[in-house]
Amino acid sequence: MAHTERILMGPGPGNPYPEVIEAFTRPVIGHLDPEFIELLDDLNDRLRQVYRTNNALTFPISATGSAGMEASFVNFVGPGDVVVIGINGVFGTRMADVAARCGAEVIAVEEQWGRAIDPQQLLDAHPNPAIIAVVHAETSTGIRNDIEPLGEAKGDALLLVDCVTSIAGIPLEIDGWGIDIAYAGTQKCLGVPPGLSPLTVSDRALERLRETPQSWYLDLNMIRKYVTGEGARAYHHTAPISMLYGLHAGLGVVLDEGLENSWARHAAVGGLLQEELPGLGFELWAQEGHRLPQLTTVTIPDGVDDVAARHELLDRYGIEIGGGLGPVAGKVWRIGAMGNTARERNARLLLAALAQIVKRG
Ligand SMILES: *Cc1c(COP(=O)(O)O)cnc(C)c1O
């Protein structure tokens, strides 16, 4: 069994911050221990700062980003509700699947993979939807979808946004952009291993919280009694103590660096990759002007074998990158620079390794 240090430059997880790994080794205490409650309250405060929100209901769901997606729909969507969803990649497609399972009437606004969704098309899709939902950073294509115009013109609808890959990687303003429901992941730009899904819900959305969502585990009516200070703390499920230590530490790293500095570091490293890769024969695939710095997509040059080249990167250089998904499987690579991985030295190492691989063809 190999225990090689990898440089994780795939679509996620990125490499965790050392402070996070250290936090995992702290002694486990009870989830109702006042010391732990204090840490949880502090964690949620840090989360509010990184999300740029004052939402009282802001906390990590005890499961991965996909559970955040489920929680966002199952608590607010019921049979017959009209939900407009932007689809330009894997994660928009999943949102539509989840909403449909809640019984929603899904109105899909589809855009070609690798291109951004026009916010006006989402706004024009229905005169009075219950929810408008979109993925901020489409990790399957490397595209950033614009959110701000949606918040300005959403009317009575709730704005629901997948922030799994955007949080801490690119500018994101929950309150400033009028986002009502957002979920994220820990393993992308927050520099924490996978396992939790930071969720935030506006007071406006809470007024529409369903009384009996079709999920027991993700029912916010019950979870909020544990995670918010309001009323008595009540047991719902055992909080994943060590994961929460890890996220608390990761948010601390981001805030110590400065959220805007974290955005700038991701921009610089992604920018370096996107500047240098074309010189090696890789074409940037995602639409210009909407490219994510934390996830670069490139077409694979002729003569380079998709699978063999990625195996060589992993075996010989210890660098992981991701292959393409869906319609572009075998045609594009997805190169991440997320969290602690977003460092110039990692980008330069990958570029040097790729130069060797491409030279041999
Ligand atoms: C990774 C990802 C998810 C799913 O998160 P998991 O932690 O894998 O469940 C959802 N949406 C986007 C945009 C992602 O990148």
297 lines ligand 1 (CB under 6 A): no
Residue 360 has pLDDT above 80, yes or no: no
- Reported confidence tier of residue 111, pLDDT bands at 50, 70, 90: very high
Q: Bridge partners of 138?
A: 143
pLDDT at 2: 52
pLDDT at res. 1 = 46
Instruction: Please give the full DSSP string across 73-96, using - where no structure is assigned.
Output: HHTT--TT-EEEEEESSHHHHHHH
Map tokens 């002694």 to a residue: 27
CB-ligand 1 contact for 60 (6 Å cutoff): no
Pocket lining: 64 vs ligand 1, CB cutoff 6 Å: yes
Model confidence pLDDT, tens digit, residues 50-76: 999 999 999 999 999 999 999 999 999
- Does residue 90 have its Cβ closer than 6 Å to ligand 1? no
Predicted pLDDT at 117 = 98
Cβ distance 172 to 295 under 8 Å?
no
pLDDT tens across 154-188, in order? 999 999 999 999 999 999 999 999 999 999 999 99
Whether the Cβ atoms of residue 134 and residue 150 lie closer than 8 Å to each other: yes
Q: Which atom of ligand 1 is least distant from the CA of 11?
A: 15
Alpha carbon 22 to chain centroid distance?
A: 23
In order of start, what are the domains of the chain with their CATH numbers?
Answer: 3-14+259-360 (3.90.1150.10), 18-256 (3.40.640.10)
**What CA–CA distances, in Å, run from 183 to 10, 174, 275?**
21, 11, 31
The CB of 68 under 6 Å from ligand 1? The reply is no
**What is the per-residue pLDDT across 340-350, written as a single tens digit (0 to 9) for each?**
999 999 999 99
The CA-atom distances, in angstroms, between 56 and each of 53, 133, 202 are 9, 21, 8
DSSP annotation of 326 reads G
Q: Which of 154, 128, 168, 113 is nearest to 285 (CA)?
A: 113
pLDDT, residue 82, reads 98
Which atom number of ligand 1 is nearest to the Cα of residue 194? 7
Distance 293 CA to ligand 1 centre (A): 17
Nearest CA, atom 3, ligand 1: 65
- Beta strands 82-87 and 322-323 are unpaired
Residue 184, number of CB atoms within 10 A of its CB: 29
DSSP 180-197: SEEE--SSSTT---SS-E
Residue 195 confidence (pLDDT): 98
> 354-359 long-range contacts, Cβ below 8 Å, gap at least 24?
354/277, 354/280, 354/282, 354/313, 355/280, 357/304, 357/309, 357/312, 357/313, 358/280, 358/281, 358/301, 358/304
Distance CA 340, CA 192 (A): 9
Average pLDDT of span 305-311: 97
247-298 confidence digits (pLDDT tens): 999 999 999 999 999 999 999 999 999 999 999 999 999 999 999 999 999 9
* Token duo for residue 71: 């929680």
Total-model pTM? 0.97
| Average pLDDT of the residues of the chain | 96
Q: Which of 106-110, 306-310, 327-331 has the lowest mean pLDDT?
A: 327-331
Question: In sequence order, what DSSP letters do the residues of 214-242 get, joined into one string?
Answer: S-STT-HHHHHHHHSSSS----SS---HH
Q: What percent of the chain lies above the pLDDT cut of 70? A: 98
- Phi, psi of 271, deg, nearest 5: -65, -40
Looking up tokens 């840090």 gives 46
By residue count, the chain amounts to 361
Per-residue pLDDT band at 233 (split at 50, 70, 90): confident
Q: How far apart are CA 350 and CA 319, in angstroms?
A: 7
pLDDT at 232: 78
Q: What angle do CA 338, 344, 349 make, to 5 degrees?
A: 95
Pocket lining: 242 vs ligand 1, CB cutoff 6 Å: no
pLDDT band at 3 (very low <50, low <70, confident <90, very high): low
Query: Which pLDDT band holds residue 4 (cuts at 50, 70, 90)?
Result: low
Query: Hey, which of 87, 117, 164 would you mutate to test ligand 1's pocket, going by the most ligand atoms within 8 Å of its Cβ?
Result: 164
* Rounded-to-integer distance, Cα 186 and Cα 64, Å: 8
219-236 mean pLDDT:
87
Closest CA to 23 of 188, 195, 248, 193: 248
Categorize the per-residue pLDDT at 234 as very low, low, confident or very high, splitting at 50, 70 and 90: confident
CB-CB neighbours of 156 under 10 Å: 8
What average pLDDT does this structure show over 22-31?
96
